[in-house]
């Protein structure tokens, strides 16, 4: 076999493999944003900061108890669920379109307010983290950082990425089943479809919105710990992950779990292949080119739900 051709093949195969793995991780970063928008019709600009908050939470736990970072999830998930639930129940529900109308404000206020409030929240979280942890770059150390799974002599996978991918797919499948098979999950979808009519089913929409937000932020928490295990992070890194999440959502389409995974995988493959051939600086550019391309060709995203 032609030596050059072989190495081209190996490069592409390696790129595709790690791109797919990266995609699972991207999907998990984005799904909370997509869920929040799908149900509450609000864009949580503090979404990225929620990831960073969760990463610092894991750091904090590990300072006291030397356990595997994966075990910190047992605390991170419920705490972040509580944060998401409380955020929606006590802050965002109070400034929703319906609440603004109640106060005699125009619907436009209700659309704008969550953007301003979550933007402010993003700043508050970043500064609180700065105050608590200083601006040093952190990483969640773990035994698997340099380990790889060898598929063939020249084809291999980062063990960490593989584990993240499996966790990501497991979370997406669990979320899909929850939304399809449970009363609470169907209530979330009903509110997303028609928030005015859902109460006629006996659904208390403020509580259901808070539940959806709790789930979204809990998943963001898992993503945050993954982020912290695979790269360094600082208090002001939130917007970086918000941008990744936007990218995935634009490519995959809002309101679709499959879309988040496919969007994540496409973005992951594009970035890794661009990195392989054009150097690390091409990664971001390639990602944005893909996003622009999708916006031009199919602005609703590849898997957008019909409206």
Binding to another protein by residue 197, rule CB under 8 A? Answer: yes
Considering only residues 16, 111, 156, 186, which one is a binding residue for another protein as defined by CB under 8 A? 186
199 contributes a contact to another protein by CB under 8 A: yes
# of chain residues touching another protein (CB under 8 A): 25
Question: Which CB, 249 or 272, lies closer to another protein?
Answer: 249
Minimum CB separation from another protein for residue 83, in Å? Answer: 25
For residue 186, the minimal CB distance to another protein (Å) is 5
Site for another protein in 205-224 (CB under 8 A): 205
C-beta of residue 248 within 8 angstroms of C-beta of residue 26:
yes
- Residue selected from 170, 204, 292, 295 as contacting another protein according to rule CB under 8 A: 204
Instruction: Give the whole-angstrom CA distance, residue 294 versus residue 270.
Output: 13
Torsion (CA) 16, 18, 23, 24 in degrees, nearest 10: 130
CB 204 within 8 A of CB 88: no
Among 11, 70, 89, 98, binds another protein (CB under 8 A): 98
Cα–Cα distance measured from residue 15 to residue 12, given in angstroms and rounded to the nearest whole number: 5
> Residue 246 Cβ, how far from another protein at the closest point, in Å?
23
183 near another protein, rule: CB under 8 A: yes
> Which long-range contacts does 295-301 make (Cβ < 8 Å, 24+ apart)?
295/250, 300/253, 301/249, 301/250, 301/251, 301/252, 301/253, 301/254, 301/256, 301/259, 301/263
In angstroms, what is the minimal distance from the CB of 255 to another protein?
Answer: 8
- The H or E element that residue 149 is part of is strand 148-150
CB 113, CB 97: distance < 8 Å: no
Residue 298, interface with another protein (CB under 8 A)? no
Q: Which is nearer to another protein, 79 or 207 (CB)?
A: 207
β-strand partners of 149: 157
| Assigned token pair, 79 | 């705490």
- Measured CA to CA, the distance from residue 178 to residue 174 in angstroms comes to 6
Whose Cβ is closer to another protein: residue 11's or residue 193's? 193
Q: Report the residue from 82, 124, 166, 194 that binds another protein according to the rule CB under 8 A.
A: 194
CA dist., res. 174 & res. 26, Å (int): 17
Instruction: Choose, by CB under 8 A, the member of 50, 192, 249, 262 that binds another protein.
Output: 192
CB of 236 to another protein, least distance (A): 37
Question: Using CB under 8 A as the criterion, what x/- string covers residues 118-137 for binding another protein?
Answer: --------------------
> Which residues make up the interface to another protein (CB under 8 A)?
98, 101-104, 183, 186-187, 189-190, 192-194, 196-197, 199-205, 305-307
């Amino acid at each position: 076999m032609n030596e050059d051709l072989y190495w081209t093949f190996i490069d592409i195969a390696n790129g595709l493999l790690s791109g797919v793995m990266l995609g699972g991780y991207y999907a998990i970063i984005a799904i909370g944003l997509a869920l929040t928008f799908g149900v509450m019709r609000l864009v949580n600009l503090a979404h990225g900061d929620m990831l960073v908050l969760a990463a610092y939470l894991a750091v904090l736990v590990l300072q006291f108890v030397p356990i595997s970072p994966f075990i910190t999830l047992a605390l991170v998930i419920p705490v972040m669920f509580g944060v998401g639930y409380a955020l929606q129940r006590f802050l965002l529900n109070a400034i929703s379109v319906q609440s603004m109308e109640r106060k005699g404000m125009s619907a436009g206020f209700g659309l704008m307010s969550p953007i301003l409030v979550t933007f402010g929240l993003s700043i508050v979280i970043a500064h609180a983290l700065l105050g608590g942890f200083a601006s040093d770059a952190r990483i969640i150390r773990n035994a698997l950082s340099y380990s790889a799974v060898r598929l063939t002599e020249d084809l291999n996978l980062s063990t960490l990425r593989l584990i993240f991918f499996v966790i990501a797919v497991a979370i997406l499948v669990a979320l899909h089943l929850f939304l399809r098979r449970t009363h609470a999950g169907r209530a979330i979808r009903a509110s997303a479809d028609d928030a005015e009519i859902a109460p006629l089913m006996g659904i208390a929409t403020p509580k259901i919105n808070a539940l959806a937000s709790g789930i979204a932020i809990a998943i963001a928490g898992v993503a945050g710990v993954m982020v912290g295990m695979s790269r360094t992070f600082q208090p002001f890194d939130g917007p970086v992950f918000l941008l990744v999440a936007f990218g995935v959502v634009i490519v995959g389409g809002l309101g679709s779990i499959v879309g988040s995974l496919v969007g994540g995988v496409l973005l992951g493959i594009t970035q890794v292949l661009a990195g392989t051939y054009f150097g690390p600086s091409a990664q971001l550019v390639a990602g944005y080119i893909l996003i622009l391309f999708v916006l031009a060709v199919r602005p609703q995203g590849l898997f957008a739900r019909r409206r």
